[in-house]
Amino acid sequence: MRNLLSAGFLRLFRSKCLYVTLAVMAVIGAVEPIVGYAKMAELAAAGAEDAAVSLDSRFFIFPLLAGILLSAFSALFVGAEYSGGTIRNKLVAGHSRPAVYLSNLILCAIAGVLLCLGYIAAVLAVGLPLLGPLRTPLPLTLWYIFCALVMTAALAALFTMISMLCQSRAVTAVTCISLAYFLLFLGIFLNARLTEPELYPERQYVEEGRIVTEAARPNLAYVRGTKRAVYQFLYDLPGCHVVQLAATLDRGAPPRLPLCSLAVIILSSGAGMALFQRKDLK
């Protein structure tokens, strides 16, 4: 296992794919505060009362980007073991299948963490001088970063499972990226459905010079019962809960989110290893 990891790290730090994805994260991290600063200057010039743009809106988007780029990275990095035939060499050299699987999982998780850190370093380096410090209190920020890193590790576990079980690198890439998109858009959809108000409150408006009062009415689109429980369960899945992390920024994400991510890591790795044990590597 130690040899596999050491060989893996050597390959990881020579991987063009890692540096390209890291560069993309760092460039977006650096550009975001610059765009915010330009917007702030434009609003101030237009005489807006509240022209300040906070660094927070630029800082907290990193798990979303990391998830998508990690899906591409994992597929290409792990997929190269199949296309290059090195996965058979590892087994022939006497390494067990679980060790091969776990070493790839650890490498993908570390790559995910590096992508997040690349963004954080760039956004802070450029954003702090331009937009000032974060408005979110430090404990909440650290909790957010912790939840985001655990979620990234859970996504790495899912992508590793797909990459280790599919021999075609292109199909792996398409499946991983599609899964990342699916989870993200599902999260946006679920957030919209779960935050629907149960009742539309009473409202008053002026019509033809008269004040009209519209009574409170129930919202037909409000999700209830079993459907709500299912939606809530899906909303807690890693990838989906990136939206939840952003929505609960002011009060801190519920502790069940990192626990859900942990459960996904254990379950997907268990299932992945069991299937990989039986896989015909040809």
Partner 1 sequence: MTNLLSANLFRLRKSILFWVTLLLCAAAGAWQPLQTYLEYQRNFPLDAIFFVYAMLIGLVLSVFLPLFFGSEYSDGTIRNKLATGHPRLSVYLANLITAVFVALIFCGGYILCTLAVGVPLLGGPKAPGPLLTSLILSLLMAAAWCAIFTLVIMNFSRKATSAVCCMLLFLAIFGAAITVYQVLDAPEFYPSLQLVDGEMVSEMVRNPRYLQPDERKIYELLLDLNPVGQAVQFTDGNVTRPVQMALCSMGVFAVTTAAGLALFQRKDLK
d(CA 112, CA 63): 9
Is residue 178 part of the contact set for partner 1 (CB under 8 A)?
A: yes
CB of 173 to partner 1, least distance (A): 5
Which residues make Cβ contacts (< 8 Å) with residue 264, sequence separation at least 6?
154, 157, 158, 237, 238
Two tokens at 13? 């730090």
> Taking contact as CB under 8 A, which single stretch among the options 45-53, 96-104, 231-239, 251-259 is the one that binds partner 1?
45-53
Report, in Å, the least distance between residue 36 CB and partner 1: 13
Q: Taking CB under 8 A as the rule, does residue 38 contact partner 1?
A: no
Q: Which of 41, 128, 170, 192 binds partner 1 (CB under 8 A)?
A: 170
- State CA 219 to chain mean position distance: 31
Comparison of 172 and 261: residue with beta carbon closer to partner 1? 172
The answer to whether 47 contacts partner 1 (rule: CB under 8 A) is yes
The reply on whether position 174 binds partner 1 by CB under 8 A is yes
Restricted to residues 67-96, the positions that interact with partner 1 (CB under 8 A) are 68-69, 72, 75-76, 79, 83
**Whether the Cβ atoms of residue 53 and residue 145 lie closer than 8 Å to each other:** no
Do the beta carbons of residue 144 and residue 60 sit within 8 Å? Answer: yes
Binding of partner 1 by 266 (CB under 8 A): no
Find the binding residues for partner 1 in span 184-243 (CB under 8 A): 220-221
169 lies in the site for partner 1, by CB under 8 A: yes
Instruction: At 213, give phi and psi (nearest 5°).
Output: -105, 125
Is-contact 55 127, C-beta < 8 A? yes
Number of residues that bind partner 1 (CB under 8 A): 23
Single residue of 104, 136, 152, 172 touching partner 1 by CB under 8 A:
172
- Does position 111 bind partner 1 by CB under 8 A? no
Angle formed at CA 255 by CA 249 and CA 260, multiple of 5 degrees: 110
d(CA 274, CA 25): 34
Give 235's contacts (C-beta < 8 A, 6+ positions apart). 187, 190, 191, 194, 241, 243, 244
Give the nearer residue to partner 1 in terms of CB position, either 28 or 99: 28
Which is nearer to partner 1, 65 or 253 (by Cβ)?
65
Helix 169-194 to helix 62-83 angle (10° resolution) is 160
Q: Which residues of the shown chain bind partner 1 in the complex (CB under 8 A)?
A: 43, 46-48, 51, 68-69, 72, 75-76, 79, 83, 169-174, 177-178, 181, 220-221
